[in-house]
Amino acid sequence: MLSRIVKFILSAKWYLLVIVLTIPTFTSLLRPGFFPMHDDLQAMRVYQMELCLRDGQFPCRWVPDMGYQYGYPQFTYYGPLPYYVMTAGRLLLHLPLFDAVKLGFILPLILGNLSMFLLAASLFGPLGGLLSALAYAYAPYRASDLFSRGAMGETWAFVFLPLILYAVLQLFKKPTLKKSALLGTSFALLLVTHNISTLIFTPMVAVIALVLLVQSKQKAKFVKYGLIGLLWAALMAGSFFLPVLFEKGFAHTESLILGYFNYLAHFVSLKQLFVSTFWGYGSSEIGPTDDLSFFLGPVQLFLLVISLAVLFLNFMRRNLNLSALIVFLSAIFLLISLFMSHEKSTFIWKMIPLLVYLQFPWRFLVTANLFLCLIAGYFIYYLKGRAAKIILITFSFLLIFMNVSYFSPREWFNITIFEKFSGLSWDRQLTISIFDYLPIYAKFPPGKPAPVYPYLDHGSLSVLDFRHRTFSFDFTTKTQENAILTLPQFDFPGWSVRLDGKVVSHNHDNELGLITLALPAGEHRIRAVLRHTPVRLLGDVLTLVFLPLALIVLVKKEKHHV
Mean pLDDT, residues 266-274 taken together: 93
Beta bridge partners of 32: none
Beta bridge partners of 456: 485
Residue 381 has pLDDT above 80, yes or no: yes
Residue 3 has pLDDT above 70, yes or no: no
pLDDT band at 434 (very low <50, low <70, confident <90, very high): confident
Whether the upstream peptide bond of residue 126 has omega within 30° of 0, thus cis, is no
pLDDT band at 561 (very low <50, low <70, confident <90, very high): very low
- Structure-model confidence comparison of residues 114 and 431, the more confident one: 114
Residue 292 in contact with residue 283, Cβ under 8 Å?
yes
Residue 260 has pLDDT above 90, yes or no: no
pLDDT 10s digits, 48-86: 999 999 999 999 999 999 999 999 899 999 999 999 999
**CB-based burial label for 448 (10 Å; 0-12, 13-18, 19+):** exposed
Residues with Cβ within 8 Å of 358's Cβ and at least 6 positions away in sequence, in order, are 196, 199, 200, 263, 364
Domains and CATH numbers, the chain: 2-415 (no CATH), 455-536 (2.60.40.1180)
Distance of alpha carbon 290 from alpha carbon 281, whole angstroms: 10
Beta bridge partners of 525: 476
Exposure letters 384-402 (e unless 16+ CB within 10 A, then b): eeeebeebbeebbebbbeb
Percentage of the chain beyond pLDDT 90 is 84
What confidence score (pLDDT) does residue 261 get? 78
What confidence score (pLDDT) does residue 497 get? 97
Distance of alpha carbon 536 from alpha carbon 51, whole angstroms: 20
Residue 539 has pLDDT above 50, yes or no: yes
The answer to which of 250-259, 380-389, 451-460 has the lowest mean pLDDT is: 250-259
DSSP code, position 41: T
Residues with Cβ within 8 Å of 559's Cβ and at least 6 positions away in sequence, in order, are none
Mean pLDDT, residues 402-421 taken together: 95
Q: What is the pTM of this model?
A: 0.94
What confidence score (pLDDT) does residue 116 get? 98
Task: Compute the half-sphere exposure of residue 11: CA atoms within 13 Å on the CB side of its CA.
Answer: 12
pLDDT 10s digits, 88-147: 999 999 999 999 999 999 999 999 999 999 999 999 999 999 999 999 999 999 999 999
- Structure-model confidence comparison of residues 8 and 421, the more confident one: 421
Residue 22 has pLDDT above 90, yes or no: yes
Per the prediction, the chain carries an average pLDDT of 93
Residue 371 in contact with residue 333, Cβ under 8 Å?
yes
